[in-house]
Amino acid sequence: MPQVECTQLIRAWQGGDSHARDQLFQIIYPELRQIAARQLRQCNPGNTLNSTALVHELYAKLYNDRAAYESRNHFKAVAAKAMRHIITDHIRRNKAQKRGGDLMQTAMDTSLLAVNNDPHNTVEVLDLLDQLEVLGERFMTVVECRLFAGMTEDEIAQSLSVSRRTIQRDWAKAVAWIQYRMDHSGAPAV
């Protein structure tokens, strides 16, 4: 579906049209499943959460939300962030249940971060991404869009109304900041 039609559905949803919300989720559902699958590959919290369940939890979380989404890409960026929070909460719940027992296996498989089968480290890394906002909200958004939503530099630039070069600089600065924090916090380094 073209960007314009999704934007129209978003506007109708913001105006209180629940049918538009349901239609938007139905149209964008395959993309949300791809984002969910990508995030679960990067932060595998175990076998109890799959991409379908993650998208359904996202739907429940955003069901009554009328945030000011500007476009399809903005909605995907927000959805990716919400999914990351759902995964983090899921890992924390599992970790609390398994305290003192067998640890669940986790792995972040990205060129930016590497977590070695330790749920404590996965939570630390995900929390570190939340702290990235100290550089500015745009830095956190760039990382979320690139790592978790799978958006290209051009898509992120369009979504944030900045140049591609700005996105490249923001990415480089964010990677350097995360690497520094990981190297100096005892978390696993790249």
Q: What is the pLDDT of residues 107-139, one digit of tens each?
A: 333 444 444 444 455 666 677 777 887 888 888
Q: What is the pLDDT of residues 19-37, one digit of tens each?
A: 888 898 889 999 999 988 8
Q: How far apart are CA 132 and CA 73, in angstroms?
A: 21
Domain count, the chain: 1
Whether 189 maps to a domain, the answer reads: no
Whether 66 maps to a domain, the answer reads: yes
Q: What is the pLDDT of residues 148-184, one digit of tens each?
A: 788 889 989 988 899 999 999 888 888 888 777 777 7
Q: Residue 176 is part of which domain span? A: 3-183
Whether 190 maps to a domain, the answer reads: no
Whole-model pTM over 0.85: no
Q: Which tokens belong to 107? A: 């792995």
Helix residue spans in the chain (DSSP H): 3-14, 18-42, 51-62, 72-97, 119-131, 137-143, 153-160, 164-183
Whether 114 maps to a domain, the answer reads: yes
